[in-house]
Amino acid sequence: MHQMEFESDLARSSEYKSFRSTVPLKQIVVDSEALKVWKLYDAGPRGVRCPLVCLPPVCGTADSFFKQILPLTAHGYRVISVEYPVYWTVPEWCEGFRHLLDLLEIDRAHILGASLGGFLAQKFAEVTFNCPRVASLILCNSFIDTKIFNYADSSSVFLDVTSNTLEEDDYWAISQKADGFTNSRINRLHGRKIGETKSV
């Protein structure tokens, strides 16, 4: 049975189409068995050895940061947005990310991490503390450990806090756009990859 692919309004926007037509999606293998393939968009001057590297949330893809990539590269910054392969442990992910930076000839990076991406960025900063690879961290909706996910009734508290800070119409308009874009990206991910990524 063929599943129809959903495309959000944001994915159909001229800004997104411009991004996809000017910044190619690359795939980089970081292990000798060719099992760990990172997908990424690398935009801006290649000579920059300390770029901004964007790590998406659990259901995010490499194009999740396209709205940041276009204006930053227009100002001369190098921005790399990644989609990581499946890793079962945080140390394995950190080792894979270190290999990726080595292959891209990046000495240090400013890392923007959203949700799981922010958690992994912090762990990478910890692991490389003695030989720093992280110039700075920018964390968005991140967490410092995963114990909170053991609490079943915590998510309703977060929704209440978020919805009370915006006007109701604004909140739902922003939420629907974000949900539509995220859902269109999730539809492109293989079900097993989503489960494995959540295990980290």
**pLDDT score recorded for residue 110:** 96
| Under 8 Å between Cβ of 8 and 183 | yes
**pLDDT score recorded for residue 179:** 55
| Under 8 Å between Cβ of 85 and 38 | yes
Q: Is 6 helix (H, G, I), strand (E, B) or coil?
A: coil
d(Cα 194, Cα 183) in Å, to the nearest integer? 13
CATH code for position 176? 3.40.50.1820
Q: How many domains does the chain divide into?
A: 1
d(Cα 54, Cα 34) in Å, to the nearest integer? 23
Instruction: Spell out, as residue ranges, where the chain has pLDDT lower than 50.
Output: 1, 151-166, 171, 192, 194, 198
Range of the domain at 189: 14-199
Rounded to the nearest 5 degrees, what angle is found at the Cα of 188, between the Cα atoms of 183 and 192? Answer: 100
**pLDDT score recorded for residue 157:** 42
Does 104 map to a domain? Answer: yes
Taking CA atoms, 71 is separated from 19, 21, 55, 75, 144, in Å, by: 11, 15, 18, 7, 30
Does 6 map to a domain? Answer: no
**pLDDT score recorded for residue 81:** 96
Does 62 map to a domain? Answer: yes
**pLDDT tens digits for range 45-93:** 988 989 999 999 888 889 999 999 999 999 999 999 999 998 989 999 9
Q: Which two tokens stand for residue 184?
A: 């269109």
Does 3 map to a domain? Answer: no
d(Cα 86, Cα 36) in Å, to the nearest integer? 7
Does 102 map to a domain? Answer: yes
Q: Terminal CA-to-CA distance of the chain, rounded, Å?
A: 31
Does 66 map to a domain? Answer: yes
CA 104 to chain centre: 17
**pLDDT score recorded for residue 156:** 45
